[in-house]
Amino acid sequence: MLPVKSFHGLVLLLSVFVNCGVFGADRPNIIVIMSDDMGYSDIGCYGGEIETPNLDALAAGGLRFTQFYNTARCCPTRASLLTGLYAHQAGIGHMVDSRPESVGEAYAGELSHRAVTIAEVLKTAGYKTYMTGKWHVTGKTSPANESDKKNWPLQRGFDRFYGTIHGAGSFFDPNTLARDNAFVSPFADPEYQPELFYYTDAINDHAARFITEHYQTTKEQPFFLYVAHTAAHWPMQAKDSDIKKYSGRYDAGYDAIRAARLEKMKMLGLLDSRWKISAQSGDWSLVEDNAWEARCMEVYAAMIDCMDQGIGRLIDTLKTNGQFENTLILYMQDNGGCAELMGRNKPFQARANMATLPGLTATFLQTDMIPKQTRDGYPVRQGKGVMPGAADTYIGYGRSWANVSNTPFREYKHWQHEGGISTPLIAHWPAGISAKFNGKLEAETGHLIDVMATCVDIANATYPQEFNNTPMQALEGISLRPTFEGTAIDRRTPLCWEHEGNRAIRVGSWKLVSKYPGVWELYDIEADRTEMVDLSKLHSARVQEMSGLWEAWANRVGVKPWAVVEAAGRKKAK
């Protein structure tokens, strides 16, 4: 009789053989693409004027989900996406800033080892696993030893990785850039030396490269690829050729662009005539420097445009390798538009006529989120009037443009109102989604926790009760695959949110939401998705019932009062 461990190993080996196609049919490849700090209406097929023909084509040949949700912030979203759990269960209840143990493991700031990643699960089903882009689920961005890399991509199931461990930085000179398990300078990397290094291109180029090399070496195995973009997170930086495409397009200001988006959304069937429209943030006539404000949005648009171009190259790579028809592509965004004032309130810093600092060597790797200087010695500038775009600038696009990005919704990144948590979800899979559904608007409610369940279902994998001799938490999400076949999904538990004290729960068409430290508000999302008519006073019993469900969820996943979490963070920082 085989020992238990050997038996488990044999079962795993047989599972790999079966799932690789040795004994069974091939499964689809799976590509998950996530962009950063973008609003619901930014891409063309969701109402935007930004040119995204490749994403639009995927939507036209697949499904567009109209009620899909993220967690309103980058780290929690990535933790939830990767694990199929709520972010608190995955150890990222806030960000990757760890808290004392007294607050609980929900705020460890590290991806939990009682959670398993999509890559770890799909590897057991015979998939090769690749990732490019932003990781941002560990605080160990300056590891002292190999043990500190226990939550780096290769240690969490990926076979190959190219990207950044940290969450934000220069697009022309990113910090914490790594290839597999080692840091690499973008200017001393023998494997990748483009004429101009731009991080969005590097992410897409490596995604395409991994696919190409996969079919040169492992043709019999399907692959899982996670492409995590930093576009269009601040800083607003883009290539000149992309910026020029949008020159003058935003001169009319916030109101005009938002009005055009609303009309397009109506035409696309994304805007219900019953919904009242939330107020515009900002008055273009009162802007002191219209050229600067318009330029911010021009660069933002250019960043998204560049990302879409790279997605087009990725699609071409699939077609070249004969894999486009049998690859499930999921595209989504990590939170709503960002109203943070990064670099916008500082005094203006004029650019010197020549470099004022020593240049940096090719092997130098940036460690700061905001670099002090460019490679050729120019100081990095922030402040009103600094025209964004180039490597020596570092600012965000501001609250009013974020409001345009989130058309027609309220609030922004950080908050649990629809503007903070609503994201497009495009699902494209010609071999698995009937052509009769091409271009369909899918109204089923979904959440990031459903991505793991969908991947497990599609890959014919098994979500483990135990992994690496450690008990795993039960999967929270449900598969979205029924929607690919035109049927409803059977969600039996509410969807819940919490971030920095901002709370929400969705039960059917009802949503209870609170902006910290405020009280609960109640909305009928079907009739009022813009959250303009608070019904809490008319339905006090429903508020009580739903708030009780939220409290039970919060206790179960480890949510603590935000004041307690904040105080613990301040205490640790001293």
- 374-383 pLDDT tens trace: 999 999 999 9
302, 243 Cβ separation under 8 angstroms: yes
Residue 17 scores a pLDDT above 70: no
Contact 319, 215 (CB under 8 A): no
Res 571: pLDDT: 76
Is the residue at 556 inside a domain? no
> Is residue 10's pLDDT more than 80?
no
The structure's pTM equals: 0.95
In a domain, 527, yes or no: no
With respect to residue 568, please indicate whether it lies within any of the assigned structural domains: no
How far apart (Å, rounded) are the C-alpha atoms in residues 258 and 147? 49
Phi then psi for 487, rounded to 5 degrees?
-115, 165
User: Would the pLDDT of 118 be above 90?
Assistant: yes
Nearest to 416 by CA among 526, 500, 540: 500
Q: Does any domain span residue 121?
A: yes
CA distance 120 to 365: 30
Phi, psi at 186, each rounded to 5°: -65, -15
Locate 85 and state its tokens: 């759990």
What is the reported pLDDT for 4?
A: 34
What amino acid positions are annotated as catalytic residues?
74, 136
Strand order of the β-sheet with 29-35 is 182-183, 177-179, 160-164, 128-134, 223-228, 29-35, 327-333, 422-428, 63-69, 440-447
In this predicted structure, the answer to whether residue 455 has a pLDDT above a threshold of 50 is yes
Q: How far apart are CA 152 and CA 431, in angstroms?
A: 33
- Please report the pLDDT score of residue 101 as a whole number: 76
pLDDT for the residue 13: 42
Is residue 15 scored above 70 in pLDDT? no
In whole angstroms, how far apart are CA 495 and each of 68, 472, 503, 504, 511?
A: 11, 21, 11, 8, 9
Q: Which of 502, 449, 508 is nearest to 479 (CA)?
A: 449
Residue that the structure tokens 């009780």 belong to: 548
Q: In a 3-state reduction of DSSP, which class is residue 247? A: coil
- 472 pLDDT higher than 60: yes
Question: What's the CA gap between 488 and 426, in Å, rounded?
Answer: 17
Rounded Cα–Cα distance for residues 216 and 206 (Å): 15
Our count of domains for the chain comes to: 1
Residue 134 exposed, middle or buried by CB count within 10 Å (0-12, 13-18, 19+) = buried
Span 266-288, pLDDT tens digits: 999 999 999 999 889 999 999 99
Residue 189: band (very low, low, confident or very high) from pLDDT cuts 50, 70, 90: very high
CB count in 10 Å sphere of residue 22:
11
List, edge to edge, every strand of the sheet that includes 495-499: 495-499, 502-507, 510-514, 521-524
Give dist(CA 176, CA 371) in Å, integer. 12
53 within 8 A of 309, measured Cβ to Cβ: no
Lowest-confidence region among 96-100, 336-340, 403-407, 500-504: 96-100
pLDDT at residue 397 greater than cutoff 80: yes
pLDDT of residue 36 exceeding 60, the answer is yes
Q: Which helix (H) or strand (E) holds 447?
A: strand 440-447
pLDDT at 1 over 70: no
What is the pLDDT at residue 60? 98
Asked if residue 500 belongs to a domain, the reply is no
Give pLDDT, residue 569: 83
Q: Could you tell me the residue range of the domain that residue 120 belongs to? A: 4-491
In which element (H, E) is residue 245 found?
Answer: none
Whether 79 has a pLDDT exceeding 90, the answer reads yes
Q: Which of 48-62, 148-162, 337-351 has the lowest mean pLDDT?
A: 337-351
For residues 38-63, give the mean pLDDT.
98
User: What is the pLDDT averaged over residues 80-106?
Assistant: 93
Average pLDDT rounded to a whole number, residues 149-168? 98
- Sign of the CA dihedral 82, 83, 88, 91? negative
pLDDT at 341 over 60: yes
User: Is pLDDT above 60 for 221?
Assistant: yes
What does the alpha-carbon distance between residue 256 and residue 137 come to, in Å, rounded to a whole number?
38
Question: Residue 509 domain-assigned?
Answer: no
Cα(304)–Cα(263) distance, integer angstroms:
21
Residue 495, SS3 per DSSP? strand
* CATH number assigned to the domain comprising residue 377: 3.40.720.10
Q: Is residue 110 part of a domain?
A: yes
Q: Which amino acid is at 90?
A: A
Share of the chain above pLDDT 70, in %: 95
Distance CA 560, CA 135 (A): 25
Least confident span in 96-100, 104-108, 208-212: 96-100
Please give the residue that has the higher pLDDT: either 568 or 133.
Answer: 133
Which helix H or strand E contains 386, and what residues bound it?
none
Average pLDDT value for the chain: 93
Residue 536 covered by a domain = no
Higher pLDDT, 573 or 546: 546
Would you state the pLDDT for residue 20?
Answer: 41
79: exposed, middle or buried (C-beta count within 10 Å: 0-12, 13-18, 19+)? buried
Q: Are 417 and 337 in contact (CB under 8 A)?
A: no
